[in-house]
Chain A
Amino acid sequence: MSSVVDPGLLSLIGKAAAPQTQLVTRRDIRKYSVATAQRQRKYLDGDEAPPMFHVALFWPVLPLDELSANGVAIDPMFPDIPGRRPMAGGLKIDFHRPLKPGDELTATRMLTNIYSKQGSNGSLIFVEVTMTVIDSAGEIVLTEKTTRIMK
């Protein structure tokens, strides 16, 4: 059962962050592969990036004074909703091709949906942010939809 979402919140649908371009390097792939305990040689040698490497590639690099006191980079794409706190959400990622050293990739993030559902203990608001990553030829290499649940 759906319930009504505040029109002010709904007006945020379509809000986009500035595109971010990053270069895939062998060294960064190797660091990520060691840190995640990959077992395939192509990843450990940095010849190809493991599927989830984009999480590290596009993690925000903020000045120290923009981090919260507990070290968190606050994600401005997800709105604060008074009286509600974020719960763990989920991810859906579609991969179109593997990433390799030398790839120059551009990520664009957009708030793509806000909706409400009635839970057993009141309403829950779902906020979806979609990241689309394209290569220098303009081809989509992956899309990632993150859903945050506000209770």
Chain B
Amino acid sequence: MSAVPDLKLLVPGQALPVRTFQCEPVQLFLYNAALWNADRIHFDHPHTTLTEGYPALVMAGPLLGDWLAQAANEWAGDAGFLRSIEYSNRRACYVGDVLRSVGQVRSVDTESGDVVLELAIVNQRDEVALPGTAVVRLARA
């Protein structure tokens, strides 16, 4: 994880660390088990591909949303607080995909400590699957 960002040194356009996520069936199963989500497109491969016509098991949208939230939350550090997040599910992702979370600073309010971040989950073809924004409040020195 990166060092805690210094509010005084932040400028719009500054990039967040990139994190790679490998979409694996075991993690997808555990995620949906933690939710109690029995949608067969997340665990039943023949049903998903032959009946519903998807190329592979479908990643759960809220799991991608969590990865987006983690990008902002980890960047803000322990003393920071994720105040809000907003995203849209634009493109389905599948087991076997290699995704990454990316982001950059959009604006900085040095009075309140609030930083607006532009975020996205991007697939291995550089297609944006989940664009979003977040507001984190950083601790002031």
Q: Say which residue of B34, B38, B84 sits within 8 Å of A92 (CB atoms).
A: B84
Q: Tell me, yes or no, whether B79 is within 8 Å of chain A by CB.
A: no
Q: Tell me, yes or no, whether A35 is within 8 Å of chain B by CB.
A: yes
Q: Tell me, yes or no, whether B140 is within 8 Å of chain A by CB.
A: no
Q: What per-residue 1/0 map shows which CB atoms of A8-48 lie under 8 Å from chain B?
A: 00000000000000000000100110111111101000000
For chain A, the bracket of interface size reads: 20 to 34
For chain B, the bracket of interface size reads: 35 or more
Q: Please state if A32 and B88 are interface contacts (CB–CB under 8 Å).
A: no
Q: What per-residue 1/0 map shows which CB atoms of B63-101 lie under 8 Å from chain A?
A: 101110110011000100111111111101000000000
Q: Please state if A95 and B30 are interface contacts (CB–CB under 8 Å).
A: no
Q: What per-residue 1/0 map shows which CB atoms of B1-18 lie under 8 Å from chain A?
A: 100000000000000000
CB distance from A97 to the nearest CB of B (A): 8
Known: A36-B63, A36-B67. A56 touches B35 (CB 8 A): yes
Q: Please state if B90 and A50 are interface contacts (CB–CB under 8 Å).
A: no
Q: Say which residue of A35, A51, A70, A94 sits within 8 Å of B39 (CB atoms).
A: A70
Known: A39-B1, A70-B40, A70-B47. A50 touches B66 (CB 8 A): yes
A55-B35, A95-B81 known; 8 other A-B pairs, CB under 8 Å? A40-B74, A70-B39, A70-B40, A71-B38, A71-B44, A91-B85, A91-B88, A98-B81
Query: Chain A residues in contact with chain B, CB under 8 A?
Result: 28, 31-32, 34-40, 42, 50-52, 55-56, 59-61, 67, 70-73, 88-95, 98
